Amino acid sequence: MKKHKVAVIMGSDSDLKVMEKAVTVLGDLEIDVEVRVLSAHRTPADTVAFVEGLEDRSIRVVIAGAGGAAHLAGVVAAHTTRPVIGVPIASLMPTGMDALLSTVQMPPGIPVATVGVGGAKNAGLLAAQMLALTDKDLHDRIKKHRAGQADQVRAKDAAVQKKLSSQ
């Protein structure tokens, strides 16, 4: 039975393509995920109600992705003491700088951890690492995940070396 739960929320269904990467990595690490579309601007009451129920639903970390003004992570952080990880998403400005700055520039006292633009996979991994501070089994699964990444790089290196040596 999974004992941790992470909420992955996004400001629009158009953000799902990016945010699915967090959902996938959390699932791979055997962490339960609750996924919602909530808007800081268009459904503020729904967003606050969702955040006020985090503890009742045993959600320990929130990953919030949004583009444009990207206030979702900040609004969530303003209403909870649970860790919030912001994922800026490129939408209005192709580079995502508007979303990045809106997410990372929080006022003192309301922190939001922020990953790079489109960095939902890293947000999922960061949430898992936070949870692993008190869960050795999860810590071991993260270490295994990292070892798998290293194996992939080594295999790619070997393939490149083989290709170059045959030229």
pLDDT in tens, the chain (167 residues): 467 899 999 999 999 999 999 999 999 999 999 999 999 999 999 999 999 999 999 999 999 999 987 899 999 999 999 999 999 999 877 889 999 999 999 999 999 999 999 999 999 999 999 999 999 999 999 999 999 999 999 999 999 999 999 88
Domain ranges of the chain: 5-165
**CATH level 2 (architecture), domain 5-165:** 3-Layer(aba) Sandwich (3.40)
Burial (CB < 10 A; 0-12, 13-18, 19+), residue 48, is middle
pTM: 0.93
Other Cβ atoms less than 10 A from the Cβ of 28: the count is 14
Q: Widest CA span of the chain, in angstroms?
A: 63
Query: What gap in Å lies between CA 38 and CA 13, rounded to an integer?
Result: 9
- CB within 8 A of 123, min separation 6: which ones? 22, 63, 65, 85, 86, 87, 115
Q: Which amino acid is at 62?
A: V
